[in-house]
């Protein structure tokens, strides 16, 4: 059975947003499962001793230019959020708790979180914003609160961060495929190529 495409993403990362659906289409076209691993990139960088690259003014200026251009390239609605950098730990916990029993709905939930933050500039650090996501319409406020603040989401998010550190990820989006790694939304053409031309064992 062909191996899965595993995507490490951060809900605060516009490049993760740009990658998600293109990668999902590639997985579907090639009969591969898509495994989403929301993480906190700042937590991975902290463990790796890596400084925040956007603290450098030149990097920040280029980032703002590039994300606007990339959104246009991928044909996605996009607003630069304010503040620009957040910790998406509440969204990450929600995702991991929700998909613990609904793995088939992970792509939908991830899409809705990204659209709330990057298409509508909503504050995904606000539990009320997350509770209003369409796919959660059948859940009670108490159930949503437990998913966001309870131990299951916290532990699964922590485990995903540890897994990302063990995988030596260098940023997000970070894709692993059959033992090979691909970093960045601009690696989608190479992933497509590799799916068509698998490495020889």
pLDDT digits (tens, 9 = 90+) for 142-155: 999 999 999 999 99
The C-alpha atoms of residue 6 and residue 44 are separated, in whole angstroms, by 17
Cβ–Cβ contacts within 10 Å for residue 29, how many?
Answer: 11
Work out the average pLDDT over 159-171: 96
Task: For residue 31, give the DSSP letter.
Answer: T
pLDDT digit string (tens) for 36-78?
999 999 999 999 999 888 889 999 999 999 999 999 999 999 9
Mean pLDDT of the chain: 96
Tokens of 138: 């059948």
Maximum Cα–Cα distance for the chain, whole Å? Answer: 50
The C-alpha atoms of residue 200 and residue 176 are separated, in whole angstroms, by 16
Tokens of 73: 């390239």
What is the CATH code for 5-196? 3.40.30.10
Extents of the domains making up the chain:
5-196
pLDDT attached to residue 50: 92
Band (pLDDT 50/70/90 cuts) for residue 1 is low
CB 126 within 8 A of CB 89: no
Inform me whether the pLDDT recorded for 158 exceeds 80: yes
Residue 167 buriedness (CB in 10 A; 0-12 / 13-18 / 19+): middle
CB 151 within 8 A of CB 18: no
CB 92 within 8 A of CB 100: no
**72-102: buried (b, 16+ CB within 10 Å) or exposed (e) per residue?**
eebebebeebeeeebebbbbbbbbbbbbeee
- Residue keyed to tokens 């309870």: 150
Of 86, 87, 88, 90, nearest in space to 153 by CA: 90
């Amino acid at each position: 059975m062909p191996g899965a495409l595993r995507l490490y993403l951060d809900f605060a990362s516009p490049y993760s947003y740009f990658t998600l659906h293109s990668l999902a289409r590639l997985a579907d076209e090639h009969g591969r499962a898509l495994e989403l691993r929301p993480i906190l990139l700042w937590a991975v960088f902290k463990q790796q001793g890596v400084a925040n690259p956007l603290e450098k003014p030149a990097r920040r200026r280029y980032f703002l230019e590039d994300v606007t251009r990339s959104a246009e390239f991928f044909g996605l609605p996009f607003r630069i959020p304010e503040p620009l950098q957040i910790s998406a730990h509440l969204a990450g916990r929600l995702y991991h708790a929700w998909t613990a029993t609904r793995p088939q709905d992970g792509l939908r939930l991830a899409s809705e979180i990204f659209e709330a933050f990057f298409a509508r500039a909503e504050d995904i650090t606000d539990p009320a914003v997350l509770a209003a996501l369409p796919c959660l319409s059948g859940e009670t406020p108490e159930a949503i609160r437990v998913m966001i603040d309870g131990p299951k989401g916290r532990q699964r998010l922590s485990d995903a961060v540890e897994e990302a550190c063990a995988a030596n990820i260098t940023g997000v989006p970070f894709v692993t495929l059959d033992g090979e790694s691909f970093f960045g939304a601009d690696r989608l053409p190479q992933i497509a190529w590799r799916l068509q031309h698998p490495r020889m064992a």
